[in-house]
């Protein structure tokens, strides 16, 4: 078998890679295309992974598809920024509008485990009021979820991902202790803490999905700082090493290098998915389909699945599929300390302040946090060229100060706007499928917040003696929206259980269902909702509301 994860599917012939052992395998159940499985899940990332595990654990037959490969972290991940481009969704897309989004490494993943394979592991809860942003804070939209119920699902998600965090969290309602102790804070994070204190703000250790002590088959984090390029030690608790092995052990099948191009519908119900694997189009029969392809690919799949009965795409009675795309603001301030900082050591963020998420006296809606940053050399070079226009010897001189550099980066809430959207272009990709066209512009509120955050971060760095401070004014990251959840078939695409209003056996469960994105990184919320959704769908099926029959299929 080839050692190249792209050469041929690895999850095949009744086995899948053992991600914890070099060249070893775990047994995996396989289903025939003609066998009608209870659930197909499209996408195996932050949303798809927990849905797969949750449904398999309840005894349902389930197949998870991912267009990306099945990596073995111990063997496939190099300490090399360019080599790791293989982790991202780099397929053709058209990006346009007043503030076109740069697609790729900042906001996507294409692998079993999805974007969590190379995410920065920051694992934060929403501020409770954000679930009712419209009625309590006066902007955006309300979620059809109650924060008290979500608080319990957050706790379950934190346990499943063995989150390392502080003993007490300074903001929001009380939460249980994190499963693992917080990580030591690195040079940049210490400067964040000093700067926050100088401004009178609270700070704390960042809750992270990387283990701070030996845990199961994961060894503790060794602070090598390559988190955003795939963790080769398995300290990182991505879906690839947590929910996916759980799902397979309980009888789920994973199909890697399997691109789903179309969902089939008959008499108003989905009947399965068309997918391409090893150059051949095939059809998997299914009683129910859960889409979890993230904020660009999920609406694209629904739109590409249009039929005569659903000419505007599946689940699109409201016309909202693809609309209200949000990308969180990710602007930063950088400066230089006299002392050596070595910000790139350790996970990128080991401290955080959520002051402006919980302070409402401000002249804009929404909130933001900021975190210490540790960009690796190539990314740092692009910051200097892009934000400062440096080149040649000036760039070289700047890079010589790399070990003294310190950065603070915001994660800020952009507001939903129906004109920010995903549609289909006429061009097609390597599978012959129409590619997404992504249109994006910041609103006035977004710009006001970005300026506020930049001023605050610059002030904070100045108060701790940073010199030659500069701003990175144009950076965006995590996506949300495009298949929003809501209260009625008119205001949303899915209901509170991520079930399509239009097609009763079609679910969408990933970052696309967010009505608002809040001022924290999204994956813990996606994971918590996905765990809840798996439980809710399973209960629906047991009540006879879906045609699915739980049968014990586990390999254990
Ligand atoms: C560099 C980076 C750093 C990040 N850091 C953080 C962080 O520190 N904290 C945080 O909370 N969030 C972070 N995020 C964001 C977080 O990873 C995503 O928000 C989250 O993973 C999205 O979950 P999802 O399930 O919607 O999509 P994903 O996790 O991206 O999973 C989607 C999967 O679906 C597959 N797929 C899509 N369409 C199809 C199809 N048609 N057929 C088959 N497969 C398909 C894709 O290949 C992909 O594997 C980061 C993201 C990036 C890129
Ligand atoms: S710093 Fe820790 S989590 Fe990040 S790549 Fe290294 S071992 Fe993995």
Whole-angstrom distance, CA of residue 164 vs CA of residue 172? 18
Beta strands in 292-404 (DSSP E): 326-329, 332-336, 351-353, 368-373
Number of Cβ within a 10 Å radius of residue 27:
11
Whole-angstrom distance, CA of residue 4 vs CA of residue 215? 29
What is the rounded (10 degree) CA torsion for 314, 318, 322, 326? -140
Strand 368-373 relative to strand 405-412, pairing: antiparallel
Residue 223 alpha carbon, nearest atom of ligand 2: 1
> Domain range for residue 278?
15-542
* Contact between residue 271 and residue 504 where contact means Cβ atoms under 8 Å apart: no
Whole-angstrom distance, CA of residue 116 vs CA of residue 511? 12
Closest to 21 (Cα-Cα) out of 74, 62, 65, 71: 74
Residue at 3 is within a domain:
no
Ligand nearest to the CA of 44: 1
Residue at 237 is within a domain:
yes
Mutation choice for ligand 2 from 226, 237, 348, CB with most ligand atoms inside 8 A: 226
Low-confidence residues of the chain: pLDDT under 50:
552-556
Strand 62-65 relative to strand 253-255, pairing: parallel
- Smallest CA separation from ligand 2 atom 7, residue: 221
Residue 210 alpha carbon, nearest atom of ligand 2: 3
Residue 400 CA from chain centroid, whole number: 34
Mutation choice for ligand 2 from 236, 348, 376, CB with most ligand atoms inside 8 A: 236
pLDDT of residue 290: 98
Residue at 141 is within a domain:
yes
Residue at 225 is within a domain:
yes
Residue at 417 is within a domain:
yes
Residue at 374 is within a domain:
yes
* Contact between residue 499 and residue 541 where contact means Cβ atoms under 8 Å apart: no
Closest to 123 (Cα-Cα) out of 87, 89, 166, 84: 166
Q: 278-303 burial by CB neighbour count: b if 16+ within 10 A, else e?
A: eeeeeebbbbbbbbbbbbbbbbbbbb
* Contact between residue 524 and residue 160 where contact means Cβ atoms under 8 Å apart: no
Closest to 299 (Cα-Cα) out of 280, 277, 318, 281: 318
Which alpha helices (H) appear in 464-522, and where do they start and end? Answer: none
CA of 234 to the centre of ligand 1 (A): 18
CATH of the domain at 537: 3.50.50.60
Label residue 492 exposed, middle or buried (CB < 10 Å: 0-12, 13-18, 19+).
buried
Mutation choice for ligand 2 from 119, 121, 220, 225, CB with most ligand atoms inside 8 A: 225
Q: Is the CB of 87 under 6 A from ligand 1?
A: no
CA of 299 to the centre of ligand 2 (A): 33
The vertex-484 CA angle with 483 and 490, nearest 5°, equals 100
CA atoms within 13 A on the CB side of 524: 30
Mutation choice for ligand 1 from 241, 313, 523, 534, CB with most ligand atoms inside 8 A: 523
Extract the tokens encoding 405: 């550099």
pLDDT of residue 2: 64
Residue at 10 is within a domain:
no
Residue at 549 is within a domain:
no
Ligand nearest to the CA of 108: 1
Any residues with Cβ below 6 Å from ligand 2, and which? Answer: 210, 221-227, 231, 233, 235-236, 346-347
Count of domains observed in the chain: 1
DSSP-derived secondary structure for 33-60: TTS-EEEEEE--STTHHHHHHHHHHTT-
């Amino acid at each position: 078998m080839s050692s190249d994860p792209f050469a041929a599917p690895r999850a095949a012939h009744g086995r899948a890679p053992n991600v914890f052992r070099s060249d070893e395998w775990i047994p995996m159940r396989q289903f025939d295309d003609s066998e009608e499985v209870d659930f197909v899940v499209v996408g195996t990332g932050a949303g798809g992974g927990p849905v797969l595990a949750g449904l398999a654990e309840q005894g349902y037959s389930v197949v998870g598809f991912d267009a990306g490969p099945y990596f073995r972290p111990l063997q496939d991940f190099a300490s090399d920024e360019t080599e790791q481009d293989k982790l991202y969704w780099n397929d053709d897309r058209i990006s346009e509008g007043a503030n076109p989004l740069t697609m790729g490494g900042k906001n996507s993943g294409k692998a079993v485990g999805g974007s969590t394979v190379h995410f920065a592991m920051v694992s934060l809860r929403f501020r409770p009021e954000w679930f009712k942003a419209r009625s309590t804070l006066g902007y955006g939209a309300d979620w059809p979820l109650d924060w008290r119920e979500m608080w319990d699902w957050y706790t379950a998600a934190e346990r499943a991902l063995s989150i390392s965090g502080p003993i007490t969290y300074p903001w929001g309602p009380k939460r249980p202790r994190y499963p693992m102790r917080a990580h030591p804070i690195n040079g940049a994070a210490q400067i964040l803490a000093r700067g926050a204190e100088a401004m009178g703000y609270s700070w704390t250790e960042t809750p992270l999905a990387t283990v701070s002590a030996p845990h199961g088959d994961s060894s503790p984090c060794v602070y090598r700082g390559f988190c955003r390029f795939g963790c080769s030690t398995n300290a990182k608790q991505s879906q690839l090493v947590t929910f996916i092995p759980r799902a397979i052990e309980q009888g789920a099948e994973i199909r890697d290098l399997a691109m789903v191009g179309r969902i089939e519908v008959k008499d108003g119900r989905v009947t399965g998915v068309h997918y391409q694997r090893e150059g051949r189009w095939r059809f998997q029969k299914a009683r129910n389909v859960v889409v979890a392809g993230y904020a660009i690919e999920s609406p694209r799949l629904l739109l590409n699945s249009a039929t005569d009965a659903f000419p505007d795409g599946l689940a699109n009675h409201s016309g909202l599929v693809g609309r209200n795309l949000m990308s969180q603001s990710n602007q930063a301030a950088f400066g230089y300390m006299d002392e050596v900082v070595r910000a790139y050591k350790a996970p990128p963020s080991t401290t955080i302040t959520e002051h402006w998420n919980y302070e409402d006296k401000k002249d804009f809606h929404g909130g933001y946090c900021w975190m210490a940053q540790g960009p690796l050399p190539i990314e740092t070079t692009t910051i200097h060229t892009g934000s400062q226009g440096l080149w040649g010897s000036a760039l070289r001189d700047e890079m010589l100060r790399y070990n003294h550099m310190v950065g603070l980066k915001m994660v800020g809430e952009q507001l939903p706007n129906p004109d920010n959207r995903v549609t289909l272009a006429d061009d097609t990709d390597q599978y012959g499928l129409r590619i997404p066209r992504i249109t994006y512009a910041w609103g006035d509120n977004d710009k006001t917040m970005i300026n506020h955050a930049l001023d605050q971060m610059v002030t904070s760095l100045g108060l701790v003696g940073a010199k030659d401070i500069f701003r990175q004014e144009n950076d965006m990251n995590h996506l949300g929206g495009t298949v929003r959840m809501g209260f009625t078939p008119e205001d949303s695409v899915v209901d509170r259980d991520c079930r399509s209003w239009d097609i009763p056996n079609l679910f969408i469960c990933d970052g696309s269902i967010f009505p608002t994105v809040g001022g924290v990184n999204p994956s813990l919320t996606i994971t918590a909702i996905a765990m809840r959704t798996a439980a809710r769908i399973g209960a629906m099926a047991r009540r006879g509301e879906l045609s699915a029959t739980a049968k014990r299929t586990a390999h254990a």
